[in-house]
Amino acid sequence: MPIAILGWGSLVKEPRGLPVEGAWQPDGPNLWIEFSRISTKGKRARCLTLVLDERRGTEVTTLHVPSSRTQLPQAIADLQEREGTNPDDIGFCEVAAGRYASTALGRHPKSCERIRAWARQKGFDAVIWTALSPRFKDAIGIPFTPAAALDYLNGLPAVTKELALQYIHSAPEQTMTAFRRLLLKETTREPAAPNNPV
């Protein structure tokens, strides 16, 4: 069965041995994506990371690549290993049956429907993706907004902030979320001209 893997963040540039066929293609389904998760482990602990977020996310066109696997359980296991997550954090859709991973369906039901419709058009029998939940308010106690995320980023220790910025800037160019637009606007803003005495 042809199986598509969806990506919108570090997975695209850092597959880390994920078995795929060919190159990532830029015409995946339009999904709601945002930097609304704060990582808790690994070298990116405390960094903002991208997740599917139907409440706060921006619609972006995701990327996709065919898995080298032809059996869905193997493809799911591959992605789980690459992401270092629990099995419940990998979303899947079996297109013909209309069957979804229950956790993914609970976290982002509109995205599941879009993924299935897209897969039908593209001729994939199944699709898999990383289905982590947003975790901003849970981590720091305030709701996610682009401005709140920018304040959080600017308050990080220098080394952590640099890692966070590397992750943000390495995301595919088409993953242009509201937070990323705000960050780019802030970093390209010209400093105010000094007041020169007359």
pTM for this prediction: 0.92
Which of 157, 98, 104 minimizes the C-alpha distance to 128? 104
Asked whether residue 70 is assigned to any structural domain, the reply reads yes
Query: pLDDT digit string (tens) for 62-91?
Result: 999 999 999 999 999 999 999 999 999 999
Residue 101's alpha-carbon distances to 48, 107, 137, 163, 195, in angstroms, are 25, 10, 25, 32, 60
So what's the pLDDT on residue 197?
47
Asked whether residue 185 is assigned to any structural domain, the reply reads no
Alpha carbons 112 and 17: distance in angstroms, whole number: 26
Q: How many domains does the chain have?
A: 1
Asked whether residue 195 is assigned to any structural domain, the reply reads no
Asked whether residue 99 is assigned to any structural domain, the reply reads yes
Radius of gyration of the chain, Cα coordinates, nearest whole angstrom: 18
Distance in angstroms between the alpha carbons of the first and the last residue of the chain = 75
Residue 123's alpha-carbon distances to 99, 118, 126, 141, 186, in angstroms, are 16, 9, 9, 43, 42
Query: pLDDT digit string (tens) for 21-33?
Result: 999 999 999 999 9
Enumerate the H helices of 14-127 as residue ranges.
72-83, 102-107, 109-122
Spatial neighbors of 159 by CB under 8 A, at least 6 apart, are: none
3-class SS of residue 151: helix
Which of 75, 51, 35 minimizes the C-alpha distance to 165? 35
What domain range is 110 assigned to? 3-177
Q: How do beta strands 58-61 and 90-94 pair?
A: unpaired
Mean pLDDT, rounded, for 126-155: 97
Q: How big, in percent rounded to 5, are the helix, strand and coil portions of the chain? A: 40, 20, 40
So what's the pLDDT on residue 42?
83
